[in-house]
Structure 1
């Protein structure tokens, strides 16, 4: 890659950035969450439904284990890839719940699943490689691929297809440069959950390409609503050696601030990710790791306390879906997992559409600005996820908050508020 042209300030300081960094786009989810926080601090009555963060407290046994870690003096550096106790517990969980057999040496514990994904990309992708990313996608996947020197290849998964990648679309996207396919099930941002049969059909295509690996992002694994079920891609016949599995504790255990995730992969890939980590952050928090052992010991599926949270998410999913489907012009299929809905809102954003007293609404970015100004509700425009006619709504909030937010959204999207030319 050619060096960027030097630039300077009046003081004569060269302000040149690495071209890969200079080309990165900031996360819209974080930007809108920060905006909502700023407006709240200024006194505005803003409801933020942009962030992917459970509104529940971390379960009590996990909190007590964190306190115990402090009292017992577990406050020093841990081994780079994680404590032996935690990596063994992760291996036991993957074996019993996912049908994946790893040794502790094939597990890397990191400061969140996001770091695991980044290290997996950096370890496996080279300049000129392509990363296949089904859209809608989590906002960071394409930018991480670019930062690793690879080219993101976006493959649309349409609402009619349940926002799921099909074998035909995958096969059409693959080239000799294809190196990594990223799958997220249950999905952020759509809530789609792949069936075992759908994953097996994709695995047939993957097997046709010797260089192709799969990064399976399973961070929402436990947040699945019947009759949907979660299936790990690496457990499919012939896929173990090709798959890098990422998971963590943030979503299901409401441990976002504890910053803990893990990568499980064949030894050569895990070792490469560990080397990257050793030269960047080193090991994750010793306190969080001690607490995570307790989390994994709470039972299959996270145990009763986690299942109570998931039952609440399902109730909210049903409520939000019903309310959105009652708004004329909103199109939505009920999600099967995670805690997001992604309605199609092209009836309110596009050429020739105006909101009374606001002005033209040419795209969903503008629609989200309209909603934060007129409804005091912060949402994320779908173009951040590769879905330019959709918006993402997180229902990780109380029923009371969601009810107020949906009342405001419905009022703001009333047909009388829009004109079409």
Structure 2
């Protein structure tokens, strides 16, 4: 009874609600523009003659996204430390985090460029798709790599701004990136008939423009936190051990997650070009829900990390209750929207009859998925804000170890079971990480900084 009153009190606090939505709403709106790019990509390519074009964009973007998400620690690690620096009003630390994270982004980009050919060959080796699809996927990936430094620096800036509780700049950056991408998609693919390569160049231009905008707006946030840049210490990565340790753990965690998405593409590709194209259409449903719900998870990262920096347990409970409640409401809204309008969205994305028919068969899986995945998004936000990357890594690896035997057993059994295995993995992620948080909270260890 006491717990119920405490939860209701947290939910009904108008000031806490405003703080959450002040951060979450711009991020939800801007995050939604990310899958909209995927929708436009799918729509313009999905109306070209032949499923291999759509499959090529799915494969090429999956390989590039693998690289991006593998370096997602640049955003996640930066957010937690920036939020804690703001909570303790440490302007010097806030600047050092930004400088070191951007320098890491530059170094990682150079490393990927150095090994781009073997990485691409490895990524395409196991697909067993048509030669036409693989050739187009290779061209798409090579072009997208041009903007890798800009894309990784955008990760850093977005994470840093979120940690500083400034969601307006990420909103502006993401809108710039994605609106540029969408407009150029139509111009280059439809207007100039550049096909798959046109879609890749549209993404490159969007990334570069987003970076220029983000760099121009850094100074306005720094004015709120007096301090100075230590360029020598930052470029030498001196004192960056906590950031590097967290980034290492998030990297391992993200590679495990991306391997599951890669398996989804591989298993679909082995069932034919039409199946991998249908799965590419359906993955847009997952991207829409994940990016929208991530807006609330990002608010939990920023406000949760800020509360931890101030040792404010009550403030953490408030933001956790509010973000959880609204995330459930939003996930239920997506379930209803996909159940009622999923077929219409499929028809908008492709006019290939065989791809439409297959996507309808498997629509049920992405319709129920928001209710399963919502917990993993929230828990990721909670752990990122606390910079508890080791727990995230271990939970992800354990989920992967449990999932791989299932994926092996289900191979060749049809696409329904491919989606079933993927859904099972997402549920395992949530159960393992949720159990770890419950233990840390009950033993009063959550509010302790590592």
Q: Same fold (TM over 0.5)?
A: no
Highest RCO, 1 vs 2 (Cα 8 Å, sep ≥ 6): 2
Give me the TM-score of the superposition, normalised by structure 1. 0.27
Please state which structure has a larger fraction of its residues in strand.
1
Q: TM-score, normalised by structure 2?
A: 0.26
